[in-house]
Amino acid sequence: RETESLFAQAVELRPNRYWYYSMWALWKMFCLGQEWAHNASAEFERAAEFLRQATRKNSQDALARAIYGHFQSFWRRSLDHGRALLDESLHLNPYSPFAWMLSSATSSYSGRPEVALEELERSRELCPVEPHFEFMFNSAMCIAHLFRHDADQAAEWGRRTLQENPGFTNGHKQ
């Protein structure tokens, strides 16, 4: 609740700061994945609206496009739309390790785990993962190995995910 209040205050104070909408949407997606949302369908639609607002307010914002692309491919199951948004994001900013990590998930979902692993390597080369976000990178590695049908590596990366963040529910789902 406190996080929601802080995002609402930020948007109220600076309604044209597109970055706030992107981060709020990312927070909503995380809450949906953790099953913390009281009304999942309403939160899903709010996340979508925040992403539409972010990209409307700044059509050149690579991070907003990357988050929106992940939303489209993972939550909406629209792999083509998600891929297009992620490609636009990476065209706008090919140096975003976070965008490469999100892109890897869509590559995995699209049946291209080898490409996903290359994208994760590019992400790691651009910037070592900050310790408090390591679980997200490890989860993406687990997903890529799952789609690669490499159960041993998937299990290893899944264990790493849970070691980094035992409360991350996707670590248990994989």
Q: What is the pLDDT of residues 27-66, one digit of tens each?
A: 898 888 888 888 888 988 989 999 998 888 888 999 999 9
Q: What is the mean pLDDT of residues 112-140?
A: 90
Q: Which two tokens stand for residue 154?
A: 């998937």
Q: What is the pLDDT at residue 9?
A: 86
Please, which pLDDT band fits residue 128 given cuts at 50, 70 and 90?
confident
Q: What is the pLDDT of residues 142-159, one digit of tens each?
A: 999 999 999 999 999 999
From CA 71, how far away is CA 82, in angstroms rounded?
Answer: 7
**Cβ neighbours for 90, distance < 8 A, ≥ 6 positions apart:** 62, 66, 96, 99, 100, 103
The residue type at 156: E
Q: What is the pLDDT at residue 173?
A: 66
Q: What is the pLDDT at residue 167?
A: 86
Q: What is the pLDDT of residues 71-85, one digit of tens each?
A: 999 888 999 999 999
From CA 19, how far away is CA 76, in angstroms rounded?
Answer: 22
Query: What is the DSSP-derived secondary structure letter of residue 166?
Result: T
